[in-house]
A = this chain, B = another copy of it.
């Protein structure tokens, strides 16, 4: 083993503890201050129940709050939109997320519903308005999507250098709205030279070999091989691929998009799966909610 392991589990605890301290600090001068995340869940998927439960628990642990708005799977687009509008107007709510995928009997345009979230209460950075700001490098005016933000934070913390990204070659595998596309933008505006690869990319191994920092988000178990990694590179693996258990009573196993065992012999730093990017996403969600709460409740530096 050459690479230093980046423990997202540990770093996520640090982020959450820090937010907790800041909330407590803020309450000294603003006793009624709160940081409330509204989680809109449609239907009753068991995996969604687990994720939602984890978010609410983490928020509570640090003195913030998560509120579940659980809606029946029979809900219509119009009614779901009305729920979002009500949350936008609710002065007690600081952040709104829609738990995906929706478990709904009706055809719902989830992008459209997400886009109705007030950009000031958007904590996933998934509204088009905030995506547009990110694309244009207006970092002070937007909110960073949670998973890419977690990736950036891990690179900065692991290397011990807030400006590590600047001037580096970053290769992003994947261009989804949630991970790949915003990750590319976030690293670009932290001044990396960024290359974006996807399913139409031809020489993906060569591209990976150029990366000082490799961000992988494609959803294919062990897709990136050990000999695709530039020696010393920082490898951030967002992939969550589930091996269903073959025997009853056994737990399902999680795998990343990177062949971890081979890659860790070459990389300088590497995130494991599980315990890498995954826990960072929840931590950044709670941190983003706190940022929006400060902006909205205390008019902290946000010149909308």
A201 and B169 CA atoms in complex are apart in Å by: 8
Interchain CB contact (< 8 A) of A175 among B111, B188, B196: B188
Chain A interface main SS type: mixed
Please encode chain A, from 194 to 215, with 1 for each CB lying within 8 Å of some chain B CB and 0 for all others. Answer: 1111101110000100000000
Q: List 15 A-B contacts (CB under 8 A).
A: A128-B136, A130-B132, A132-B135, A135-B135, A137-B175, A167-B200, A167-B202, A175-B188, A188-B198, A193-B195, A193-B196, A193-B198, A194-B195, A194-B196, A195-B195
| Pairwise interchain contact B129-A167, C-beta atoms closer than 8 A | no
Q: Is A68 an interface residue (CB 8 A)?
A: no
| Pairwise interchain contact B200-A193, C-beta atoms closer than 8 A | yes
8 tightest Cβ-Cβ pairs between the two chains A and B: A132-B132, A128-B132, A131-B132, A191-B200, A195-B195, A135-B135, A193-B201, A136-B177
Q: Which residues of A contact B (CB under 8 A)?
A: 111, 127-138, 166-167, 175, 177, 181, 185, 188, 191-198, 200-202, 207
Shortest distance from the beta carbon of A210 to any chain B beta carbon, whole Å:
9
A93 and B260 CA atoms in complex are apart in Å by: 57
Which of A181, A192, A193 has the most chain B CB atoms closer than 10 A to its own CB? A193
Interchain CB contact (< 8 A) of A135 among B181, B193, B195: B181
- For A199, the closest partner residue in chain B by CB is B191
Which of A138, A167, A196, A197 has the most chain B CB atoms closer than 10 A to its own CB? A196
Known: A193-B197, A194-B195. 7 other contacts (CB 8 A): A131-B135, A132-B132, A135-B135, A166-B200, A191-B200, A193-B195, A193-B198
Copies in the complex: 2
| Pairwise interchain contact A167-B201, C-beta atoms closer than 8 A | yes
- For A131, the closest partner residue in chain B by CB is B132
A167 and B197 CA atoms in complex are apart in Å by: 10
A196 and B170 CA atoms in complex are apart in Å by: 10
- Residues of chain B lying within 8 A (CB to CB) of residue A135: 131-132, 134-135, 181, 185
Shortest distance from the beta carbon of A164 to any chain B beta carbon, whole Å:
13
A195 and B197 CA atoms in complex are apart in Å by: 9
- For A171, the closest partner residue in chain B by CB is B195
Shortest distance from the beta carbon of A200 to any chain B beta carbon, whole Å:
4
**A128 with B137: in contact, given A193-B197, A193-B207, A201-B193 (CB under 8 Å)?**
no
Shortest distance from the beta carbon of A209 to any chain B beta carbon, whole Å:
12
- Residues of chain B lying within 8 A (CB to CB) of residue A198: 188, 191, 193
- Residues of chain B lying within 8 A (CB to CB) of residue A129: 128-129, 132
| Pairwise interchain contact B137-A133, C-beta atoms closer than 8 A | no
